[in-house]
Each structure stands twice: as C-alpha cells, then as structure tokens.
Amino acid sequence: MQKMMGLMRKCIDDYHMISPGDKIAVGVSGGKDSLTLLTVLAALRSYYPAPFELAAITIDMGLSGMDFSPVERYCKNLRVGYFCKKTEIGPIIFDYRKEKNPCSMCAKMRRGALNDTIRELGFGKIALGHHFDDAVETFLMSLLYEGRIGCFEPVTYLSRSGVTQIRPMLYVGEKAISHFAAAQDLPVIHNVCPADKHTKRQEVKDLISGLQAQYPDLKTKIFGAMQRYPLSQWGIEK
C-alpha cells in the first residue's frame, strides 16, 4: 500500500491534481485499475494536506451478467458514497447498431453519461484509472493509427461540462496494479464486453510486449519523452 500510495501522491503533487475542498468522483468500472485508484485515494484522504471529498460512480452499460453489488459493498467499507448510473450503452452499440469497431463510440457515450452524472451530483473533478502502460499505449496508438503525436493529459478541464479529469495513476505500471489488486483482494468484476481483448489497444499491447524483449526500457523511454517533449500539459514544473 505504501509504495502505491507514494507513486500516486507524487503524480498528484507533480501535476497539482487536488486542491483543498475538491469534491472528487472516481470512475469505477469494477476493473482492477479503477478499484485500485479508489482504494488508494480513500486511504490518502485521511492525511493528504489538501482535504477533499470522495465518491465512486459506475456507469452500468446494460450488459447482461454485470453485477456491481460487490463494488457497492466495498465502497461502504471504505466509507465512500457509491452511485450507479444505469444505461443502455451496450445494447445500443452491440445489438442495435452492431458496431464493428465499437470502442470509440462506447468511450464517448460512457464519458457523456459519466459527466452528466458528475454534474447531477455536484462533483467538480473525476479521477480516472489510466496508468503508466495506458499512457504509453495511447501515445503509440495515436502515432500508428492516426499519424499524430498525442495522448490524454494528466489533468484535463472540460469546458462544456465544467468538470476536470485527473489521472493519479500515471506513475504506476499495470503489473504493480495487478499485484496490488490481488494482495488487497479487491472485488474485481469480470469484463463481459464482447470486444474485450479484440481491440487496437490489444494489438499495441502485443507490439510493445514483443519489442520489449529487445528494448527492455522501451516504455520508460517513451513515457519520459512524453514529459520532456512536452506534450500539452505533460511537462512538470521544476
């Protein structure tokens, strides 16, 4: 816990993610990433120098077989308010529209539902579970599939909704998150999305895995380059 908390706190401090009095909602899908983020932020809440409120929000996509009651019970144990927004995003994408490449539309619809829920509940910030590996993969996806240099930002203000997105786990690798989730026995929910493991992101994961056999520090160098370039909002104030 202490190592994970230290990495997250450094990221939060480097990018000035939390201010006194912030009302922060964590986007909780039920996966290991978002549950790890929620767990550490709940622990950090008790002693971080800038006091903040915390809650968890789940966007239920309407896919059969998804039961979020274990997440709700876990939030109760953490003394974190839990809100589950039911939608028909899954049936719309997979049954009605029958999208061949569903990820982009799904992400947009989930973001819209999440931002609407945040505004309804009066929260000003949303913490997302994107981590170190996500950032590297997103950078390469932009380069390979779109021909541009780009990535999501550590802190993003959404002017249309008035919500600020923060990503406190950018210094944490996926393997560390997996180990943490197992050690803490987090109530991870199985992903029933039909597109899981059949995406462009998975292709890039496989590509990176192959390249790392020859270039072991590949991800670290890419991440460092993103900060030094810097991409918009990725530079750290010295």
Q: What are the tokens at 8?
A: 């997250």
Compute the residue count for the chain. 238
Confidence class for position 233, pLDDT limits 50, 70, 90? confident
Q: Is 75 left (phi over 0), alpha (psi -120 to 50) or beta?
A: alpha
| pLDDT at residue number 230 | 72
For residues 183 and 96, is the Cβ–Cβ distance under 8 A? no
Mean pLDDT of the chain: 90
Check the CA dihedral 235-139-160-170 and report its sign. Answer: negative
Confidence class for position 22, pLDDT limits 50, 70, 90? very high
| pLDDT at residue number 197 | 62
pLDDT tens for each residue of 66-83: 889 999 999 999 999 999
**CA–CA separation, 51 vs 31, rounded Å?**
27
Confidence class for position 34, pLDDT limits 50, 70, 90? very high
| pLDDT at residue number 97 | 74
| pLDDT at residue number 106 | 81
Supply the pTM of this predicted model.
0.91
pLDDT tens for each residue of 155-194: 999 888 889 999 999 999 999 999 999 999 999 998 777 6
pLDDT tens for each residue of 114-164: 888 998 899 999 999 999 999 999 999 999 988 988 899 999 998 888 899
Confidence class for position 196, pLDDT limits 50, 70, 90? low
Non-local (6+) Cβ contacts of 120 within 8 A are: none
| pLDDT at residue number 131 | 97
The yes-or-no verdict on residue 38 having pLDDT over 90 is yes
Q: What are the tokens at 62?
A: 């309407």
